[in-house]
Structure 1
Amino acid sequence: MMAGLLLARQGVEVVVLEKHADFLRDFRGDTVHPSTLELIAELGWIEEFLRLPHTKMPEVTVNMGGKDVTFADFSRLKVRCPYIAFMPQWDVLDFLAGKAAAYPSFRLLRRTEATELITEGGRVAGVITDGGVEVRADLVIGADGRHSTVRARAGLAPASDSPPMDVLWFRLPRRAEDRVPFFQGGKGALISIDRGDYWQLAYAIPADAFAELKAAGLPALQERVASLAPALRDRVRQLDDWDAVHHLTVRVDRLRQWHRPGLLCIGDAAHAMSPAGGVGINLAVQDAVATANLLGPVLARGDVPAEADLVRVQSRRERATRVTQAFQLGILRDLYPKNLGDDTTQHVPPIFTAFRALPPLRHLMGRFIGMGARPEHIAA
């Protein structure tokens, strides 16, 4: 959506395909980081954007072993919004779609999914939709997520790394007097997002441990959640059906080559991220901005992007992707238990000890999480 908006802003004819009728999908990234907020400010829309319902997090505090440590502090960032905004992703997408609709060269086709690629003379020339409609294009941008159909049809194979966790998403009612830490470590790790009248909860477990947890039964999961968030103990029994628990199998991978003639993959289609740090959607937005900045002028002239143009996008964004994935798989790995029986309150990870001993690290981490390894800016 961001890539389509920015290209249409340059006068490029754009068609964005959305396979659903709307954007109302729960249990996905809701963090709008300072880097993305700054981009919206550069577009002149930040006041309007912040009128949407959201909560602000100026710092990330982690509780382990009964002690709080500030893991990332955004207060020193030289941006207009030095905080993470928690906003439902459907609101973000509706906002961007509304802004994009103001450009006459932009079209959004809902209930339309790309299922096949059109290839002519060794070059991708468009897509075929699930309704059998051909959509021809000088450039196809695959931004269809970690299970990308476009990527698969193009024969682009990712290299995978071993992620440290899986995530169970669910929700419980919220009360005004609730005091629940954003991140609580123990037997598993619980991330709590305030959605006003309910908590959106992410329970992180060791990779491939879901079957073992499910075999232990819902009461075992209820007790684990209650031990991490005692304020919710009187409500955990409402989690009474596994259908209410959404299992996200975390994968971390990266394409060796993000493109082939006529096609470019960005976001999770090019590099699936772990949920750790909430950086995935914001890294994808940075990809979109770089794509529009580098390829927009080519497309606006009516030219077809050459292979060298696509290489420039990958070259600009690949290092930031590698650094971020190394951060997720390395530095943050110790925040999550390795086995279901592990209790991180009994063994405090070295990184937690380092942040407790060296408070200035919180500002460095705030810059890395908040702005990314290579923040992009809107081209004039």
Structure 2
Amino acid sequence: MSERTTCVVAGGGPAGMVLGLLLARAGVEVTVLEKHADFLRDFRGDTVHPTTIDLLDELGLGKRFAALPQSRLDKVTFPMPDGGELVVGDLRRLDVPHPYIAMVPQWDFLDLLADAARAEPTFTLRMNTEVTDLLRERGAVRGVRCRTRDGTEGELRADLTVGADGRWSLVRRRSGLRPKEAPVPFDVWWFRLPRRESDPAGMLMPAMRNRQFAVVIPREGYYQIAYIGAKGADAGLRAEGIASFRARIARLMPALADRVDALESMDDVKHLDVRMNRLRRWHADGVLCLGDAAHAMSPLGGVGINLAVQDAVAAAHLLAEPLRAGRLTGADLAKVHRRRWLPTVAVQGLQRLLHRVIVEPVMAGRREGPPRPLVRLLGAVPKLSFVPAYLIGVGVRPERAPAFARRPPPGC
């Protein structure tokens, strides 16, 4: 079975779905292939940043997004030895329509984008369809080979193939693009603990002590917790068993010690092998990588989704007209990389700095909190909390929705 489209997108994550929606609104025939039957996956990134919420407003989806179940974070804090907190990033200082990070289950966010995209006649979403290889003609990529859940194999030819299939991207690998890896000394273990009505809300509060580090993210009805430990420690943690892990978490976060029994087994603790990398070149002839396929990010700051969405918006701006006119070139694809290079490098630079000055010293036992110079500086000049809030919430080069994709909200 062989079919044809103008643009095929491998991966129905944030980058793939945003790109599919925007290109379809430009009148480009676009097909998104997602290997799973739905978007339901635990512990995918769920942070939706101010610029992404602004984008949804511009697309006419703001009211529908606001109706989704969500919690909101308006500051990033670090615990102090005296029991107080140091506000490192205060999003309330941002002069933006939505000065907060919305914590929304990613499946709800993706369902919203999919519903909006299906309203466009040139959009197709194929679930249960996995990309297995790339199609080539005279060295250029001209689409993909794919397989459905029932084993049916086929070909989908396209003028452009987009790899939005994550940090282990098959499209990236098959196209010969190789990322440059940066060292990351830690991995993350995700789990949930119950949240009570009396618990504080509206903050992202890390815990640091006993050579351990964790980030507590308040969600609707529960806490999503990232336990940060040494890379390669997963087998040892699982061998110790759930009782040992519960005790570890209780010592690290005494305020949550009365609910660690909610972890019934180590199956409730999901391991993330943290990677930080980026491609030197995001494209080859007929193929482009976006989001984690182009640059895997550290989970610190929860910026991966926002960057992926911004990549997709930039790609739609630059590629919609060449795709519609049938004259896409390598120079057009190179423009996407050039436009998104600085924001990617800036965020990864900030993350590497956070690794070096905060995470690594805590894990090495050199201290149990943020660096003293940082504490003194933010204590003397609280307004400086605007800077990390801006870098996390807005970024170096925020992207706006292209004019062809904008829609008024329903009822206007």
**Which stretch shifts more, 313-322 or 73-82?**
73-82
Q: Is the 8 A contact 1:337 1:344 kept in 2?
A: no
Residue type of the alignment partner of 2:252? L
Taking a change above 3 Å as real, the CA distance of residues 25 and 169 of structure 1, as seen in their structure-2 partners, is: same
Match runs of 1:265-304 below 5 Å:
265-303=289-327
- Following superposition, the deviation at residue 133 of structure 1 comes to 1.2
Q: Is the 8 A contact 1:185 1:335 kept in 2?
A: no
Inter-partner Cα distance in structure 1 for 2:229 and 2:80: 16
Taking a change above 3 Å as real, the CA distance of residues 239 and 296 of structure 1, as seen in their structure-2 partners, is: same
1:258-279 per-position Cα deviation (integer Å, ceiling 9, x unaligned)? 1101000010000000000000
Match runs of 1:215-230 below 5 Å:
215-230=239-254
Inter-partner Cα distance in structure 2 for 1:317 and 1:170: 32
Match of 1:192 among 192, 216, 219: 216
Inter-partner Cα distance in structure 2 for 1:329 and 1:349: 19
Residue type of the alignment partner of 2:227? Y
Taking a change above 3 Å as real, the CA distance of residues 143 and 61 of structure 1, as seen in their structure-2 partners, is: same
Match of 1:150 among 166, 171, 175: 171
Inter-partner Cα distance in structure 2 for 1:196 and 1:347: 28
> Equivalent residue of 2:129, what SS?
coil
- Following superposition, the deviation at residue 112 of structure 1 comes to 0.4
- Following superposition, the deviation at residue 233 of structure 1 comes to 1.2
Match runs of 1:71-220 below 5 Å:
71-130=88-147, 131-179=152-200, 182-187=205-210, 188-220=212-244
- Following superposition, the deviation at residue 190 of structure 1 comes to 1.9
Residue type of the alignment partner of 2:262? Q
**Which stretch shifts more, 169-178 or 104-113?**
169-178
1:326-380 per-position Cα deviation (integer Å, ceiling 9, x unaligned)? 1101134332245756274267465445433432220111111101111111111
- Following superposition, the deviation at residue 109 of structure 1 comes to 0.1
Structure 1: runs of 5+ lacking an equivalent: none
Taking a change above 3 Å as real, the CA distance of residues 218 and 342 of structure 1, as seen in their structure-2 partners, is: farther
> Equivalent residue of 1:166, what SS?
strand
1:312 maps onto 2:335 in alignment: yes
Q: Is the 8 A contact 1:205 1:337 kept in 2?
A: no
Structure 2: runs of 5+ lacking an equivalent: 1-16, 404-412
Match of 1:234 among 252, 258, 261: 258
Inter-partner Cα distance in structure 1 for 2:219 and 2:52: 20
Q: Is the 8 A contact 2:315 2:336 kept in 1?
A: yes
Q: Is the 8 A contact 1:206 1:337 kept in 2?
A: no
Q: Is the 8 A contact 1:56 1:86 kept in 2?
A: yes
Q: Is the 8 A contact 2:209 2:362 kept in 1?
A: no
Taking a change above 3 Å as real, the CA distance of residues 270 and 133 of structure 1, as seen in their structure-2 partners, is: same
> Equivalent residue of 2:243, what SS?
helix
1:243 maps onto 2:243 in alignment: no
> Equivalent residue of 1:70, what SS?
strand
Match of 1:55 in 2: 71
**Which stretch shifts more, 331-340 or 148-157?**
331-340
Inter-partner Cα distance in structure 2 for 1:308 and 1:56: 40
Residue type of the alignment partner of 1:268? D
Residue type of the alignment partner of 1:143? A
> Equivalent residue of 2:342, what SS?
helix
Match of 1:252 in 2: 276
Taking a change above 3 Å as real, the CA distance of residues 339 and 249 of structure 1, as seen in their structure-2 partners, is: farther
- Following superposition, the deviation at residue 228 of structure 1 comes to 3.2
For the aligned residues, what is the CA RMSD? 1.9
Q: Is the 8 A contact 1:64 1:344 kept in 2?
A: no
**Which stretch shifts more, 64-73 or 29-38?**
64-73
- Following superposition, the deviation at residue 158 of structure 1 comes to 0.7
Inter-partner Cα distance in structure 2 for 1:335 and 1:142: 33
Inter-partner Cα distance in structure 1 for 2:367 and 2:87: 17
Q: Is the 8 A contact 1:334 1:351 kept in 2?
A: no
1:366 maps onto 2:389 in alignment: yes
Taking a change above 3 Å as real, the CA distance of residues 276 and 352 of structure 1, as seen in their structure-2 partners, is: farther
Inter-partner Cα distance in structure 1 for 2:225 and 2:111: 23
1:54-89 per-position Cα deviation (integer Å, ceiling 9, x unaligned)? 111122222143330111112232321111111111
Q: Is the 8 A contact 1:167 1:248 kept in 2?
A: yes
> Equivalent residue of 1:82, what SS?
coil
Match of 2:14 in 1: none
Inter-partner Cα distance in structure 2 for 1:323 and 1:63: 26
**Which stretch shifts more, 138-147 or 41-50?**
41-50
Inter-partner Cα distance in structure 2 for 1:219 and 1:355: 39
Inter-partner Cα distance in structure 1 for 2:339 and 2:225: 35
Q: Is the 8 A contact 1:335 1:349 kept in 2?
A: no
Q: Is the 8 A contact 2:161 2:286 kept in 1?
A: yes
Inter-partner Cα distance in structure 2 for 1:362 and 1:61: 10
- Following superposition, the deviation at residue 45 of structure 1 comes to 1.9
- Following superposition, the deviation at residue 236 of structure 1 comes to 1.0
Inter-partner Cα distance in structure 2 for 1:299 and 1:260: 16
Inter-partner Cα distance in structure 2 for 1:251 and 1:301: 38
Report sequence identity in percent. 49
